[in-house]
Structure 1
Amino acid sequence: MDNQRVNSYGIAGSIYANYIIQSIALIVIMQFAESISKQLNTDVNVGLGYVASGIGIGKILLMFVGGMLSDKFGRKLFIYLGMACYIVFFVSMPFCHNIDIAFCLAIAIGIGNSFLDTGSMPALTECFPRSSGSASVLIKAFISMGSFILPLIVGLFYKYDIWYGWAFLGFTAYLIINAINLLPKKFPPKDTRIKGNQGSDDYFIRKPNFAFEGFLLIIMGFTTTATFVIIWQWLPAIAIKAVNMPTIEAKQLISFYSSASIVSVFITAFIVKKFLKPIYCIFILPAMSSLVLLLFYFDLSPLMCLITAIGMGFFAAGGVLQLTLVVMQQMFPTRKGLAVGCMYTLSGLSFFIIPRVIPELAEINVSYAILADLIMAVMSTLLGLIVYCRFIKVIDMKKI
């Protein structure tokens, strides 16, 4: 194995390790809610809800800017900036007693999230230009790993009455070790293009139009995210209200959803590496989600709730957003950071809008939440098909 490949695997290892911490940082405030609320002298719902909202604000505000600057100054700088933001949060939060300062520290998580994404995701496609789809989709597996590990850590700390700050300082040490490991690694040129199986990066027939297909792909950042967010957040409530499923069984649906998502990540990564180009996945996977939701809309039953949990976990949450990003980076190889910034800004916006719209619809009729999700999935399918039609006109499919 040549030095360049060894270097690329080393960079990827550090990036994936960071995504474990990224997923932990996004939920750690609410996981240690009892300890942090006492420290800040506030309540869990309103007070910590205010603090946690800073994450979304930080993410939305700087994702777009981070993307543009990543294209200009390179990926490594922004990965380090993201890690630095997380370190600031983890070191400061255990000693913070002011809720407004805690809110600012939560904003630092959002900023770190933005910088890490805008540096890491382009870097992965540049390290593995011939398997960028697989490399990008695997991010989901490490995000799920962090979400799985943290509750175990929290349970252990509460069981033995250990100060939660030690966990935060442990996460800090983890980041510092990873930063030292990444330091000697030389990143590929930031204008590296995604290559096809034949190793060609000269695959354009004509120039793509950022104002058209670029815009459609950015919109898909919203619709593909909304498709899985609605089910992820509301399937248990739908199961309880619509089919009178017991609360415990309804909550367990999300475990089936998460398990299907993790399985999907590895299957999808294998398929896009060996058989199917990402451009096909960005309309096939939303189409399958649409079918599952259509069946669910017309058959509200306990069995269909389970099928929906598994189906949506597999088709909607297994990496569609990441594959859509890969397609955008293929079409606009000199704007990879901008692609991440734009698409993930819209993705973050869905996390802000969906929790405000879906509850209102569900209050009128719980099936309206399913219908809204179906509309998002159908929109993703149509947008993906339009992009595909344009993609085959501007890119030689035999060279990718």
Structure 2
Amino acid sequence: MYMKTGAGMYLNYFLLGMVNIILISNMTSLTTQWSTDSAGISYIIAAIGIGKLLTYALLGRLSDKFGRKPLVIFGALGLAIFLAGIPLSPSYQVAFALALVAGVANSALDAGTYPGLVEIFPKSIGSASVMVKAFMAAGTGLLPILILFIANQNMFYGYAFFIPAALYFLNFLFLFTVTFPNHRTVQTSEGAQDAGSTKFLSEPNFKKEGFALVVIGFTSTGLFTVAQIWLPSFGQQVLGMTEVNSIKLLSYYSAGMILSVLTLAVLLKKFLRPVTVLVIYPIITFISILIILTVRLPEIVSVASFFVGFSTAGIFQLAIATITELFWRKKGTVTGILATAGGLASVVMPLVTGLMSKTGNISIIFIFDAILSVIGLVCALFVFYRYRKLINGRIGKAFKKRAG
């Protein structure tokens, strides 16, 4: 019934995968256009995070109050404006303002899409959420190919922005024609189903597992933000790769993401819970970053980049799937809170790593990334422990009820 709606939402994130790396991938052209440097571009990226950070909590509440559709539609339009405007921006200040618009639009997409997917696919919450990352990864992988094609044809670099902008605008029009689930009806149905009882033996505690998931929202966003921004620079400055070849590291990174989320989409339905993946993936990330730092060969770093992409893919989405399962009565609100943490990482990571880059030692940035993976792992272990306790309690309670 809602397949067209789901397709429209996933297309938004396919294009968002391009948005996430489009500034970095066109750094040379943009630094010339705005008379700035690589740190200046990282601050523009941080402005996107500021836009998210300032609006996530509010838009999460608006999603619960007014529904998912208005926010998803607004997000598509806002990102179309950002993409169309960046190549035409006459100054750094205008570009900064457009980046703020992009952040608000991104926030609107998240606040409307994740709860909306939970309501469209209630029996496959983990798979539906992680498929968002699959579409983002596909967009991230396609953009370098598009940029190389445009460069080889000696075309204006702005076409790499205009093409996804046009697709966003067409999807904006399409989303007006589709139907979204009535979020109020869904919440009422869930409430009736659990009347007189709770979904768990005891109520989940937002100050405990909720807070840990919010931290994971921060670290997971930080991990892929740092990798997307600085992998090409690491390739050029440490490995001596050309600019074109260094951008290919993002393609390997994206290939890892795509394989990961496609695998998860299958495994989460039958074999894995999201909380299990939250524990396993930071371990793989940590090992991969250590390899990047210690084995400085382009071929090895390319493989390690693949595994960084593989292990950072879908963590943010799985954290949202877990937090909306635990705190299901306020899906939009808790999504907004967790996404606020992600927005904070989107602001902090470009700023902090931009300052680190001024030392001339890019390796420091990846040491910092490794520390983030360890923090995420510690929080994931705590969530895993708490989740198992709550779920086992629920299963035991249900068993006793049947036996009685």
Q: TM > 0.5 between the two? A: yes
Q: Contact 1:206/1:395 (CA < 8 Å) preserved in 2?
A: no
Partner residue, 1:217: 213
- 1:323 Cα deviation from its structure 2 partner: 0.7
Read off the aligned partner of 1:345 and give its amino acid letter: T
Q: Contact 1:25/1:109 (CA < 8 Å) preserved in 2?
A: no
Q: Contact 2:45/2:350 (CA < 8 Å) preserved in 1?
A: no
Partner residue, 1:285: 281
Q: Contact 1:134/1:269 (CA < 8 Å) preserved in 2?
A: yes
Secondary structure at 1:111's aligned position in 2?
helix
After TM superposition, the structure 1 stretch with the greater mean CA deviation from structure 2, 338-347 or 245-254, is 245-254
- 1:82 Cα deviation from its structure 2 partner: 1.0
Partner residue, 1:274: 270
Secondary structure at 1:113's aligned position in 2?
helix
Quick check: 1:9 aligned with 2:3? yes
Q: Contact 2:34/2:90 (CA < 8 Å) preserved in 1?
A: no
Quick check: 1:349 aligned with 2:349? no
Q: Contact 2:201/2:390 (CA < 8 Å) preserved in 1?
A: yes
Partner residue, 1:189: 182
Task: Give the share of equivalent positions with the same residue, in percent.
Answer: 31
Among candidates 116, 133, 149, match of residue 140 of structure 1: 133
Read off the aligned partner of 1:55 and give its amino acid letter: I
Question: CA 1:360 to 1:94, structure 2 compared with 1: closer, same or farther past 3 Å?
Answer: closer
Partner residue, 1:130: 123
Partner residue, 2:326: 331
Question: CA 1:395 to 1:246, structure 2 compared with 1: closer, same or farther past 3 Å?
Answer: same
Read off the aligned partner of 2:375 and give its amino acid letter: M
Partner residue, 2:35: 43
Q: Contact 1:8/1:128 (CA < 8 Å) preserved in 2?
A: no
Secondary structure at 1:188's aligned position in 2?
coil
Secondary structure at 2:34's aligned position in 1?
coil
Partner residue, 1:360: 356
Unaligned runs of 5+ in 2: 399-404
Among candidates 149, 170, 179, match of residue 172 of structure 2: 179
- 1:207 Cα deviation from its structure 2 partner: 1.3
Read off the aligned partner of 2:136 and give its amino acid letter: I
- 1:361 Cα deviation from its structure 2 partner: 8.8
After TM superposition, the structure 1 stretch with the greater mean CA deviation from structure 2, 390-399 or 101-110, is 390-399
After TM superposition, the structure 1 stretch with the greater mean CA deviation from structure 2, 62-71 or 86-95, is 86-95
- 1:147 Cα deviation from its structure 2 partner: 2.6
Question: TM-score when scaled to structure 2?
Answer: 0.79
Correspondence 1:191-210 to 2 at 5 A: 192=186, 203-210=199-206
- 1:35 Cα deviation from its structure 2 partner: 7.0
- 1:141 Cα deviation from its structure 2 partner: 2.1
Question: CA 1:238 to 1:81, structure 2 compared with 1: closer, same or farther past 3 Å?
Answer: closer
Question: CA 1:30 to 1:247, structure 2 compared with 1: closer, same or farther past 3 Å?
Answer: closer
Quick check: 1:76 aligned with 2:69? yes
Among candidates 379, 389, 396, match of residue 393 of structure 1: 389
Partner residue, 1:109: 102
Distance 1:109 1:33 in 2: 18
- 1:100 Cα deviation from its structure 2 partner: 3.3
Question: CA 1:206 to 1:33, structure 2 compared with 1: closer, same or farther past 3 Å?
Answer: same
Unaligned runs of 5+ in 1: 1-6
After TM superposition, the structure 1 stretch with the greater mean CA deviation from structure 2, 226-235 or 265-274, is 226-235
Read off the aligned partner of 1:85 and give its amino acid letter: G
After TM superposition, the structure 1 stretch with the greater mean CA deviation from structure 2, 200-209 or 75-84, is 200-209
- 1:131 Cα deviation from its structure 2 partner: 0.8
Read off the aligned partner of 2:2 and give its amino acid letter: S
Read off the aligned partner of 2:319 and give its amino acid letter: T
After TM superposition, the structure 1 stretch with the greater mean CA deviation from structure 2, 226-235 or 25-34, is 25-34
Distance 2:219 2:133 in 1: 18
Could you give the per-residue CA deviations for residues 103-132 of structure 1, whole angstroms, max 9, x where no partner exists?
322321111111111111111111111111
Could you give the per-residue CA deviations for residues 284-321 of structure 1, whole angstroms, max 9, x where no partner exists?
22233334456666x54537645532332222x22111
Partner residue, 1:66: 59
Quick check: 1:149 aligned with 2:122? no
Read off the aligned partner of 2:11 and give its amino acid letter: A
Distance 2:26 2:288 in 1: 36
Distance 1:34 1:239 in 2: 15
- 1:162 Cα deviation from its structure 2 partner: 5.3
Count residues with an aligned counterpart.
383
Question: CA 1:190 to 1:27, structure 2 compared with 1: closer, same or farther past 3 Å?
Answer: same
Say what the alpha-carbon RMSD is for the aligned residues: 3.7
After TM superposition, the structure 1 stretch with the greater mean CA deviation from structure 2, 76-85 or 349-358, is 349-358
Secondary structure at 2:319's aligned position in 1?
helix
Read off the aligned partner of 1:21 and give its amino acid letter: L
